[in-house]
Amino acid sequence: MIPLEDYFEDMIGKAQRGLVIANEDVIAQAGITLEDFRAIKSGTFIEDAVRKVALILKLGADQLVASANKSWYPEQPEAFDGFLSFNTAFEDMFVNAYLAWDPITKEAVVFDSGADCQGILDAINEHGLTVKYILLTHCHTDHVVDLPKLREATGAPVYVNAKESSDEDFPDNVIVFDEGQDFRLVLCRLRHC
């Protein structure tokens, strides 16, 4: 199983910020009390309130409830050459990072650094990879804490989307891109090289 990084209250907060809906609007539209809203935002599971808020925030109510009950986790994909996931401890939680590459060209992309990128660096060396891009999913500390080490070791440019939350500052020396930007690796396997 792949450990989830976000709890149900994190998903609610991210959806609310993404849709730019104020607390009072969520409460009014969902028809819940301020106390219940504060409770679920702080991690207390109140199923009826969570289901109502899910509808307002365009989240799957059943899926959000399953997340709150910790009754579902994504299954680890079958092992295949060209993809690894890394789960590292950060304070009282875990954070995921990913390495994907073409097994023939050895070109790779890294998604986030995680709390400790040493496993990623070990895999890069083991497979003889050249990292073409480091792509940040977002700039929360747990996702970028080891970015300086990863960038120095790989020499790869670091990219982050322009719409990234202003809650966190961008790390130094990142390339900011707009929605719709393409990042490509040569995939000989798909071209029948």
Average pLDDT per block of 10 residues along the chain, 193 residues long: 71 86 96 96 93 95 88 67 82 82 93 91 96 85 84 92 63 79 67 44
CATH topology of domain 83-191: Metallo-beta-lactamase; Chain A (3.60.15)
Question: What pLDDT score was predicted for residue 150?
Answer: 94
Question: What pLDDT score was predicted for residue 14?
Answer: 81
Question: What pLDDT score was predicted for residue 123?
Answer: 95
Segments making up each domain of the chain, as ranges: 8-68, 83-191
CATH topology of domain 8-68: 434 Repressor (Amino-terminal Domain) (1.10.260)
Question: What pLDDT score was predicted for residue 151?
Answer: 93
39, with CB counted inside 10 A (0-12, 13-18, 19+), is: middle
Beta strands of the chain (E only): which ranges? 83-90, 93-101, 107-111, 130-135, 158-161, 175-177
Question: What pLDDT score was predicted for residue 5?
Answer: 63
pTM over 0.75: no
Question: What pLDDT score was predicted for residue 153?
Answer: 96
Question: What pLDDT score was predicted for residue 192?
Answer: 43
DSSP letter (8 states) at residue 148: H
Long-range contacts of 165-174 (CB under 8 A, 24+ apart): 165/17, 165/138, 165/139, 167/17, 167/140, 168/138, 168/139, 168/140, 168/141, 169/139, 170/139, 171/136, 171/139, 171/144, 171/147, 174/136
User: H or E stretch including 191?
Assistant: helix 188-191
CA–CA gap between residue 2 and residue 64 (Å, rounded): 17
